């Protein structure tokens, strides 16, 4: 058996809600593009794919048809055992039912769970009200989907712990520290250390920084014993001023960094063991 303490999970977030083809021509947008990109990222060493879809104009959406198609196209690749993690937050102001339906019907192994509301990009409110959070947790439990608890600000940790106390969220918890989004905590190493020291013993965690924060948080996450997320949802530049031409570039770099550090990228099955997912 492999030593799981030597393994680091790479999550790739290929698309997100915001970058458009006008921002980078390399962003995968359609179900076909996303599924091919996820497949290539899996081959390169990603164990988890965090998935968003867009509408026909490339805008943020929780379009069920596009989720279904994307998931089916990935599942049709028989050798690909990547863990699917569907977003429940594919845009601002979307209906609760639209946010729940993809994971509820398509039953990925994981889905994102944003445990709190915040101002978003200085222009809107990213709303996750208490009734919705309780319902979201219960629905995930109902279909056996593991919540990836996204933390943009420190209070969101305590909000998640409240739903543990209420019995809606079930430990062991998995956290994703999302640093550098405007309206949330900046992508600093100090903030990451602060957050990771607050989560309950026995939790697992991963992290990413947005934009210029991506690289420092990748290295800091690794140094602190966490797992890492990379991809164009968070950052479209491979280096300053140089667009990444594929999400695969980010996966390959993360894998190299992990190896140089003295660890290895976890396979999807190793990630399942680390995260306590039933295959
Ligand atoms: Zn996302």
Token readout for 269 is 């099955």
At residue 278, the pLDDT reads 79
At residue 1, the pLDDT reads 58
User: What spacing in Å lies between the alpha carbon of 111 and ligand 1's midpoint?
Assistant: 10
At residue 279, the pLDDT reads 66
CB 147 within 8 A of CB 137: yes
Q: What is the pLDDT of residues 234-251, one digit of tens each?
A: 999 999 999 999 999 999
User: What spacing in Å lies between the alpha carbon of 90 and ligand 1's midpoint?
Assistant: 7
At residue 93, the pLDDT reads 85
CB 179 within 8 A of CB 209: yes
Nearest to 62 by CA among 136, 117, 122: 136
* Beta strand spans in 16-109 (E): 48-51, 53-54, 60-61, 83-86
Q: Which domains does the chain have, with CATH numbers?
A: 4-275 (3.20.20.70)
User: What spacing in Å lies between the alpha carbon of 164 and ligand 1's midpoint?
Assistant: 23
| Higher-confidence position of 25 and 93 | 25
Nearest to 46 by CA among 54, 37, 33: 37
User: What spacing in Å lies between the alpha carbon of 86 and ligand 1's midpoint?
Assistant: 8
Of the chain, the end-to-end C-alpha distance in Å amounts to 17
CB 179 within 8 A of CB 191: yes
At residue 270, the pLDDT reads 98
Distances (CA, A) of 124 to 97, 117, 208: 20, 11, 22
User: What spacing in Å lies between the alpha carbon of 13 and ligand 1's midpoint?
Assistant: 7
Distance between CA atoms of residues 152 and 136, nearest Å: 18
User: What spacing in Å lies between the alpha carbon of 200 and ligand 1's midpoint?
Assistant: 23
User: What spacing in Å lies between the alpha carbon of 16 and ligand 1's midpoint?
Assistant: 5
Q: What is the pLDDT of residues 38-69, one digit of tens each?
A: 999 999 999 999 999 999 999 999 999 999 99
DSSP 5: G
Query: pTM for this structure?
Result: 0.98
Instruction: Give Cβ neighbours of residue 65 (< 8 Å, ≥ 6 apart).
Output: none
DSSP 243: E
At residue 159, the pLDDT reads 98
Distance between CA atoms of residues 271 and 2, nearest Å: 12
User: What spacing in Å lies between the alpha carbon of 89 and ligand 1's midpoint?
Assistant: 7
Q: Is the peptide bond before 172 cis (omega within 30 degrees of 0)?
A: yes
User: What spacing in Å lies between the alpha carbon of 73 and ligand 1's midpoint?
Assistant: 19
CB 276 within 8 A of CB 67: no
What's the CA angle centered on 72, arms 66 and 73, to 5 degrees?
A: 90
Instruction: Give Cβ neighbours of residue 142 (< 8 Å, ≥ 6 apart).
Output: 104
| Averaged pLDDT for residues 255-261 | 98
User: What spacing in Å lies between the alpha carbon of 2 and ligand 1's midpoint?
Assistant: 30
Percent of all residues in the chain with a pLDDT value above 70, rounded to a whole number: 99
At residue 90, the pLDDT reads 87
DSSP 121: T
Q: What is the pLDDT of residues 72-129, one digit of tens each?
A: 999 999 999 999 999 999 888 899 999 999 999 999 999 999 999 999 999 999 999 9
Distance between CA atoms of residues 7 and 206, nearest Å: 12
| Averaged pLDDT for residues 143-170 | 98
| Averaged pLDDT for residues 200-218 | 97
């Amino acid at each position: 058996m492999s030593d799981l303490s030597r393994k680091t999970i790479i999550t790739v977030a290929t698309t997100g809600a915001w970058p458009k083809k006008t921002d980078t021509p390399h962003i995968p947008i359609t179900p076909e593009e996303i599924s091919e990109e996820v497949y290539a990222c899996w081959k390169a060493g990603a164990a988890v794919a965090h998935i968003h879809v867009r509408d026909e104009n490339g805008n943020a959406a929780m379009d069920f048809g596009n989720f279904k198609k994307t998931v089916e196209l990935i599942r049709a690749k028989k050798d690909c055992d990547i863990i699917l993690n569907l977003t429940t937050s594919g845009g601002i102001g979307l209906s609760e039912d639209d946010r729940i339906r993809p994971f509820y019907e398509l039953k990925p192994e994981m889905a994102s769970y944003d445990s709190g509301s915040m101002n978003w990009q200085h222009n809107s409110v990213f709303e996750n009200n208490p009734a919705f959070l309780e319902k979201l947790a219960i629905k995930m439990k109902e279909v056996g989907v593991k919540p990836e608890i996204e933390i943009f600000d420190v209070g969101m940790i305590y909000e998640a712990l409240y739903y543990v106390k209420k019995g809606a969220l079930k430990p062991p918890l998995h956290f994703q520290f999302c640093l550098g989004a405007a309206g949330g905590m900046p992508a600093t190493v100090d903030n990451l250390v602060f957050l990771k020291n607050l989560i309950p013993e026995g939790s697992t965690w991963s992290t990413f920084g947005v934009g210029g924060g991506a690289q420092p948080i990748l290295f800091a996450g690794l140094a602190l014993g966490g797992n890492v997320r990379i991809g164009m949802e968070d950052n479209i530049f491979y280096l300053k001023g140089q667009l990444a031409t594929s999400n695969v570039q980010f996966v390959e770099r993360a894998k190299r960094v992990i190896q140089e550090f003295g660890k290895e990228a976890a396979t999807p099955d190793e990630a399942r063991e680390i995260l306590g997912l039933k295959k």
